[in-house]
Structure 1
Amino acid sequence: MIEENKRLPDIAWKKWGPYVSNREWGLVREDYSANGDAWNYTNHDTAEAKTYRWGEEGICGISDDMQLLVFSLGLWNKKDKMVKERFFGLTNGQGNHGEDVKEYYYYLDNTPTHSYMKMLYKYPQNAFPYEELLEKNAEAGKENPEYELIDTGVFDQNEYFDIFIEYAKSSPEDILIKVTVTNKSAIDAPLILLPTIWFRNSWSWGYDYYRPQLNANNSSQIAIDHKELAVKNFYAKQSSDVLFCDNETNNKRLFNSANAGKFCKDGINDFIINGNNKAVNSGKTGTKASFVIDEVIAGKTTQVFEFRLCDQDLAKPFQDFEEIFSERKTEADDYYKDLQKGILNDDEKLVQRQAFAGMLWSKQFYHYSVEKWLKGDPAEIPPPKSRRNIRNTEWENFNSMNIISMPDKWEYPWFATWDLAFHTLSFAIIDSDFAKQQLKLLTLEWFMHPNGQLPAYEWNFSDVNPPVHAWAAFRVFKIDEVKNGKPDLLFLEGVFQKLLMNFTWWVNKKDHNGNSVFSGGFLGLDNIGIFDRSENLPFGEDLEQADATSWMAMFSLNMMRIAMELALYNEVYEDMATKFFEHFLHIAHALDCMCESEFGLWDEEDQFFYDAISLKDGTNKLLKIRTIVGLIPMYAVEVIDDEMLDKLPKFKERMDWFLKNKPELAALVSHWEVKGEDSKHLLSLLRGHRLKKLLERMLNEKEFLSDYGVRALSKEYEENPFHINLDGTDYKVKYLPAESDSYMFGGNSNWRGPIWFPVNFLIIESLQRFFFYYSPDFKIECPTGSGIYLNLNEIAEFLGKRLSNIFLKDENGKRAFNGQYPRFQEDEDFKDYILFYEYFHGDTGRGVGSSHQTGWTGLIAKILQPRFQEMKLVQAQTETPKKAGVKVDGK
């Protein structure tokens, strides 16, 4: 058996991992300002001197799962204005397209237990161009591209270090650390390495005054004394000195007030940069400590530095170092070799492995109690009263101290609910227990609001994300069942019970007119349309959303399918399956015929779904702009076979009655009574005609279809922007293939043209489901106008291939995501390192937005999974389990 698979069931192997944020400054949870300006309350330059309340940040860092102790790497090239302890980037207001990290680092390898991990950081040898990056981006407008680190010329003469950081665990709490430094220049260059450990400050807030301690035994060993940690030694193979300070805010520097002690958080930095002996503790004790390794790295040479965090007292801590590293690296290779069986292309293997690495590296310790944040801590100055009017006031139940998969640990070092649902699909391939745990987490009472709402993200927990949690839960359930050979019914039932509350919240809160047409706000699609959909319409009317309504139809079918699965083991759930079947039919009816009118969100003339405005006079007006919103009805699709219906007689009886006695509803849905291949029935918002018409639009290269996937907005609006006059005001939307020119939602948000992975992934999944109903003879022209006709599964594979084209080498050896920079395309030291951007240029595939959004863009790992395995999973999701009636313990 593969060694990593043997370790995986033992949770102790996950005690230590890459749980350290890349950025803690500029976050809501660290913001104690009077006006809620989180980006400016803490910033990059003050971060070195300010102790954080809720978490820690670092470069390539690791910590235990309670983040009691952190290891990270500090660096100084003897030219920078400060020690490099954290990645630099622009705040939301400083970037012309929003927040933006301005460093180059790559997640190269990781295993599910973090038994072996590797990443790369490219550190310039000349002074880091902090001011230039700030000034150039401040000068640029929305119409200009971002000014990046590569544009400054700091890499032009290869005057930089490749710094590889690797971790290998000898046992769960014995972690070996290897830092490999290569001078890419021909010129010798100085470098100070500062491998640093520190305790998260838990003693300054007035709850627990226990203060752990670090002490120097000698210049190559630091003793670790914490009552809740097994790790007790930090060893260095090479070190000239060891420096100590405390993880305490330098109040004198930041606020011109008294410090809590003599030695502050920035003490080591002050000593290294300014030679200030008084900033570090000569007694060699404290709560933060660094080994000092002062080297000159000869041109074109490599040096290796070794360290060890250990729960043992070792006389020779590096005697078995290379042997352990070699074993873990070999085991990681064995693990991925087994996982990637069926992937024949080495480039696909490389991309998929780095995608998994990025997802595993993006796990983060997430600590945040809204109640304590609102009230303040006993030992601190109480927050201003205005805090109660800024954000998250109604979420005092929220209290997290968990390891959570983050979208991006620099740009988005906070969870987002719908992002996380997509993350779990890729995680399920490598660690289905973690995937299930993440889905359960958001439904726990200290996450989910008592009214049933799931928290969106910390900037505003009350915002609304698309309800994809049930879809992800059932998908992960089925992947887990195929992997482990039995269904985890306890997981599925537990999530279902909580999602009942969430579904009820949606019905009560987001169906404003009681007509089964929903308006969920921006729903993650920030700049998708004419208005900021997170706000009320400027003239007071209601927005009836085709996407919100379709998401709820999808939610209904997902809940119905889960209930049917559970009913195979407990007949009580048959009634719940019926409930959601009826919900789905009412929503399908509403899409066609809102209220009692003949008006719906499907436009017969254009053969497309649109949002609509419900006007005060009772009439409705379609907003006839073709966006991804009009394709989302495709997601609401379920296929049920006769075998399952025969095993659920109550559900079948009630369903038959409903369809017979409510023909006006049944007629709107894809023909349930018409059996497809192998006696399968289809529930969908789209009859065959409408599906074909939507696909004709979607597969048209002049509209939605790009060489790299499906665009978020029709390209038709590039030359002919959409215009509409409402209440005397003109509104315009133009196709923007990459960065946005709109300040509507702020930041780097843009759904007006780029390619987004999650919506593309759901299109692929939906087409696969439709294929299981329709015969292979059901074909659509693809691309539209090409004369080539493909069945729905072939179209799904076609789209998957186009998404893959973003990352895989083309016939010229170039990768589309690397865009306009020849250096990234051609340089051997760049071209095979993959960045998983937030979204992608609608015409060129260039990466845009957050550069390490391995979370949902990590879905490429799922897309690259061997097709025969994927089809097996899709089939398992649509067919009846063979163990119906058998009790399964769920473990």
Structure 2
Amino acid sequence: MPINTAERARLKADHQGLQNWRAWGPYVSERSWGTVREDYSEDGNAWDYLTHNHARSKAYRWGEDGLAGICDRYQLLVFALALWNGEDPFLKERLFGLTPDQANHGEDVKEYYFYLDALPSSAYLKYLYKYPQAQFPYQQLLVENSRRNRQQREYELIDTGIFDDDRYFDVFVEYAKENTHDLCVRIEVFNRGPEPAPIWVLPHLWFRNTWAWETERQPEPILRMHGHDSQSLCLVADSSNVAPLGNLLFPYKLDNYYLQTDASSQPLFTNNETNQELLYGVSNESHFVKDAFHRHFVDKTDCVNHELTGTKACIDYGMTVIEPAGSKVFRLRLSNQNPLDQPSHSLSEVDEIVAKRRAEADEFYAAIHPPKASADECLIQRQALAGMLWTKQIYLFDVQKWLDGDNAHAPPAESRRKIRNHHWRHLNSMRILSMPDKWEYPWFAAWDLAFHCIPLTLVDPEFAKEQLWLLLFEQFQHPNGQIPAYEWEFSDLNPPVHAWAVWRVYNMDRIRNGCADREFLERCFHKLMLNFTWWINKVDSEGHNVFEGGFLGLDNISSFDRSERPDDGATLKQADATGWMGMYCLNMMRIALALAKENPAYVGLATKFFEHYTYIGSAMKNMGGRSFQLWSDNDGMFCDVLSYPDGSYHRFHLRSLVNLIPLYAVERLEDNWIEQFPLFRDNLLWCLRNRASMTQACMTENKCSAGDVLLLSLVDQEQFRRILQRIADPDEFLSPFGLRSLSKHHADHPYSFNGERVQYEAAESTTWLKGGNSNWRGPVWFPTTFLMIESLRRFAQVYEGEMHIQTSEGAHDLTLIEMAADLANRMISLFARDASGRRAFYGDNEKFQSDPHWRDCLLFHEYFHSETGEGLGASHQTGWTGLVASLIDEWRR
């Protein structure tokens, strides 16, 4: 049972509807430029439609961005940090990065920022941004990365020399809630350099533009001065004349909010309106537009509203010169309580409230860390979870409105209607969603989100359950049952891991909190049945229970794009798709049996999914009566097969995760456990007796300490052993840091098909298939290794200590549970300090490895170099890489 802490009490009150601690949170993206939602182009080239250079001047339609931003639940009012060092050509208001066409390995953020701490209720949040003192090298990053080819490394911000001699600022932002609608903000800026250095700290407060998009402009909210005395300055954000937010089942309006800060500061005002004159050569409706603060400071233009009113405001503390090793603190307070009515409600309390919530965060995580975790592993777990909590964002998107346009007088180009997502007009979101990344992916991805919910359950099980339900909710799940994949193309296919996540989160919550949330399980199960049916009808084209599915999230793992149908009428029978579906059946069977404990009607559904699993298991080795199967005796693994209309076929002898995924479909049924379901037991026994030709391909009877047990697996013991030998071989799949996505065998033995070849690449991809930073040709990924660890643990419960695997690395053969533990430890070692004090994922970056101001600021990369452990791809994908928090939890108890 969880230990009662102040944060647990807040979460309980929030869940019971007694308080609303989630009313404000870090729901603001670090980047909204270049996203699909903001793209109204004719050709669908989102990256070029609204660029980083345009972002400071164009009002967003579907969501704001900012540094360390927070906002209300529906993002009507936003607070975020902005900075200027007196040298940069732009105010630093949002993160900069390169687009796919500008970089040699795909899109990439070129900034250093860290999510250091967070509580689930957002009662405490801590963020760090490292801001250079010299001019930010925008052009240098662009030119050098564009010059490099795919065989060369990416050129990063630290490579420019901008941080030499420590000439940068550490900007820490802390948020602490006194209550649900009262937020204290503490910004502390440290000069790490050898000389005094100037900085302008410019917190922004603004309303999201909800008024300028319809055919007729809507009433606008207003920001204005509220008070200014010797102690403090106060602004008021007043939306009283604005109608309640539409598109909801209930009225939603903001209270008036008051922003207090130091009396010596100066408020600046403008409007959150597009600078149409600059971007399009059209006259502005207002003289005061979105980029006014940029022009005020950088261009020295008189463009702010001296009437001290607008829809966007900025607090100007003036130029602050900070001495070497010195710091300066800036304090603000944002609240729905009028400080003029409550004189005690002052800035003097900010430090005390921040310190109190910081101590409560220490208390909260002390109760979560497992007892055998080292201090360093506790730090890793806490920052992983903090990153996941910071990456909760408001996802605003009405696809129908996006396709048709808001303004009847200015509809989007007709071509847009067929570029993407035109089958998803029902999708309508105003939800808080867990995102993979607040820069590279300021939108959800279906299979990423399923993995996010595992570590999130450690800190906030109600939020994790809500996330899993949302993708099954009517305004997300397609009427035909498909779960939306990701924003770039909702109709694409991600692996069907949602049922696995629902079942796992349900059990984590049940065990930890002592209460089974049957309502959650049952609600999800009904919608998952629709999704399962969609897979059966749409992804099994010949009805043989062998599935296609396309790329299934593994991007460039093949020699060709598996999402594209071959021109010659052939179909690709996929080992991974079929393995995923076997796993899906077993997950649904277990859920149905859990529900059958209270409602026997679910026994029939458990039997249905058990039988469907046997069909799949049999088909993988029979292919609907054809002369070939997915299992290859020569390879000792399952393989993809290309089936031609004339009955011939081609087997792909390519050793990759595709071959290993069938191991994820594993479950056990103990005789003494299934006695409580006599009808299910009878149907199972009937199958074993009367469909032996099918069941022998995917289930075996065993004895273990729990008694007689039926192992449901797509491999028999000998096949399992053969696959394990490859998994445990350092010259094949076993990396020092987890499982390689492609066997190292293909380093010296590339695989070719139709003139295209696949070669083992330990680091970034040298091909552009599915994007330059989508590399499944060697690097280690967290989600796939995590599932393999889970599978090994399930097999170990049946085989116990009787199966040992020879390894060339160990002093003795490993049992299955030792193999699972070994893989978990390898993954944890990506982040943990080794004997020499170095973290593998930092690679050879000495600044990160040894500098006291960098070495404990962790990044959670998309994937990792399979030989060195260096972090690669997106640098803030705490999404599924946050699974390291779960590995620490499960293997340090």
Same fold (TM over 0.5): yes
1:741 aligns with 2:754: no
Cα separation, 1, equivalents of 2:833 and 2:84: 35
Cα separation, 2, equivalents of 1:695 and 1:486: 37
SS of structure 2 residue aligned to 1:274: coil
1:210 counterpart residue number: 219
Equivalent residues of 1:118, 1:165 under 8 A apart: yes
1:464 aligns with 2:493: yes
Over 3 Å counting, the alpha-carbon distance change for 1:388 and 1:10 in structure 2 is: same
1:5 aligns with 2:32: no
Equivalent residues of 1:697, 1:703 under 8 A apart: yes
Q: Which amino acid aligns with 1:657?
A: W
2:781 counterpart residue number: 756
1:827 counterpart residue number: 851
Cα separation, 2, equivalents of 1:825 and 1:775: 41
Equivalent residues of 1:137, 1:146 under 8 A apart: yes
Larger displacement relative to structure 2 (229-238 or 172-181): 229-238
Matches within 5 A, 1:259-270: 259-270=284-295
1:534 aligns with 2:537: no
2:243 counterpart residue number: none
Cα separation, 1, equivalents of 2:155 and 2:772: 15
Matches within 5 A, 1:219-238: 220-227=233-240, 228-230=253-255, 232-237=257-262
Equivalent residues of 1:340, 1:866 under 8 A apart: no
1:179 aligns with 2:187: yes
Query: What is the aligned counterpart of 2:372 among 322, 327, 343?
Result: 343
Matches within 5 A, 1:478-517: 478-517=507-546
1:374 counterpart residue number: 403
Equivalent residues of 2:255, 2:336 under 8 A apart: yes
How far is 1:380 from its partner? 6.0
2:248 counterpart residue number: none
Cα separation, 1, equivalents of 2:305 and 2:784: 54
Superposed CA offset, 1:565-620 (max 9, x none): 10111000000001000110010011111121241111112211110100221122
1:303 counterpart residue number: 328
Equivalent residues of 1:343, 1:349 under 8 A apart: no
1:689 counterpart residue number: 718
1:280 aligns with 2:304: yes
How far is 1:644 from its partner? 2.9
Superposed CA offset, 1:387-425 (max 9, x none): 111000010000001100000010011100000000000
Cα separation, 2, equivalents of 1:341 and 1:748: 34
Superposed CA offset, 1:111-131 (max 9, x none): 111111101000000000000
Equivalent residues of 1:231, 1:309 under 8 A apart: no
Larger displacement relative to structure 2 (744-753 or 673-682): 673-682
Cα separation, 2, equivalents of 1:713 and 1:96: 22
Cα separation, 2, equivalents of 1:412 and 1:700: 34
Superposed CA offset, 1:462-508 (max 9, x none): 00000000000000000111122111001000000000000000000
Query: What is the aligned counterpart of 1:106 among 102, 114, 137?
Result: 114
Cα separation, 1, equivalents of 2:809 and 2:752: 27
Cα separation, 2, equivalents of 1:675 and 1:793: 15
How far is 1:674 from its partner? 5.5
Equivalent residues of 1:594, 1:600 under 8 A apart: yes
Q: Which amino acid aligns with 2:166?
A: N
Equivalent residues of 1:467, 1:552 under 8 A apart: yes
How far is 1:820 from its partner? 2.1
Over 3 Å counting, the alpha-carbon distance change for 1:304 and 1:626 in structure 2 is: same
2:42 counterpart residue number: 34
How far is 1:45 from its partner? 0.7
Q: Which amino acid aligns with 1:537?
A: P
SS of structure 1 residue aligned to 2:572: strand
SS of structure 2 residue aligned to 1:554: helix
How far is 1:778 from its partner? 2.2
Equivalent residues of 1:425, 1:435 under 8 A apart: yes
SS of structure 2 residue aligned to 1:319: helix
Query: What is the aligned counterpart of 2:278 among 218, 243, 253?
Result: 253
Equivalent residues of 2:672, 2:707 under 8 A apart: no
Query: What is the aligned counterpart of 2:162 among 154, 174, 185?
Result: 154
Over 3 Å counting, the alpha-carbon distance change for 1:344 and 1:595 in structure 2 is: closer
1:364 aligns with 2:393: yes
Larger displacement relative to structure 2 (139-148 or 535-544): 535-544
Let me know the Cα RMSD of the aligned residues.
Answer: 1.4
Q: Which amino acid aligns with 1:131?
A: Q
1:440 aligns with 2:469: yes
Equivalent residues of 1:677, 1:775 under 8 A apart: no
How far is 1:292 from its partner? 0.1
How far is 1:321 from its partner? 1.8
How far is 1:537 from its partner? 2.4
Superposed CA offset, 1:212-258 (max 9, x none): 11101346211111232235200112643110001110000000002
Larger displacement relative to structure 2 (807-816 or 371-380): 371-380
How far is 1:262 from its partner? 1.7
Q: Which amino acid aligns with 2:128?
A: L
TM-score (norm 2): 0.95
Matches within 5 A, 1:135-146: 135-146=143-154
Matches within 5 A, 1:374-773: 374-378=403-407, 381-672=410-701, 677-724=706-753, 729-773=754-798
Larger displacement relative to structure 2 (335-344 or 98-107): 335-344
Equivalent residues of 2:370, 2:892 under 8 A apart: no
TM-score (norm 1): 0.95
Superposed CA offset, 1:740-765 (max 9, x none): 01111113100000000000000001
Q: Which amino acid aligns with 1:217?
A: H
SS of structure 2 residue aligned to 1:328: helix
Over 3 Å counting, the alpha-carbon distance change for 1:674 and 1:685 in structure 2 is: farther
2:880 counterpart residue number: 856
SS of structure 2 residue aligned to 1:28: coil
Cα separation, 2, equivalents of 1:87 and 1:218: 33
2:133 counterpart residue number: 125
1:836 aligns with 2:825: no
Equivalent residues of 1:197, 1:290 under 8 A apart: yes
Q: Which amino acid aligns with 2:43?
A: N
Equivalent residues of 2:832, 2:839 under 8 A apart: yes
1:807 counterpart residue number: 831
Cα separation, 2, equivalents of 1:239 and 1:738: 51
1:876 counterpart residue number: none
Cα separation, 1, equivalents of 2:263 and 2:460: 36
Percent identity between matched residues is 47
How far is 1:738 from its partner? 1.0
Equivalent residues of 1:17, 1:63 under 8 A apart: yes
Over 3 Å counting, the alpha-carbon distance change for 1:208 and 1:13 in structure 2 is: farther
Q: Which amino acid aligns with 1:10?
A: A
SS of structure 1 residue aligned to 2:330: strand
Equivalent residues of 1:202, 1:208 under 8 A apart: no
Superposed CA offset, 1:780-828 (max 9, x none): 22x3474521221111111000001100001111101101211111111
Larger displacement relative to structure 2 (131-140 or 605-614): 605-614
How far is 1:638 from its partner? 0.9
Cα separation, 2, equivalents of 1:749 and 1:45: 26
1:134 aligns with 2:159: no
SS of structure 1 residue aligned to 2:139: helix
Cα separation, 2, equivalents of 1:525 and 1:209: 45
Cα separation, 2, equivalents of 1:866 and 1:574: 31
Cα separation, 1, equivalents of 2:795 and 2:702: 16
Cα separation, 1, equivalents of 2:851 and 2:543: 59
Cα separation, 1, equivalents of 2:665 and 2:409: 50
Cα separation, 2, equivalents of 1:446 and 1:240: 45
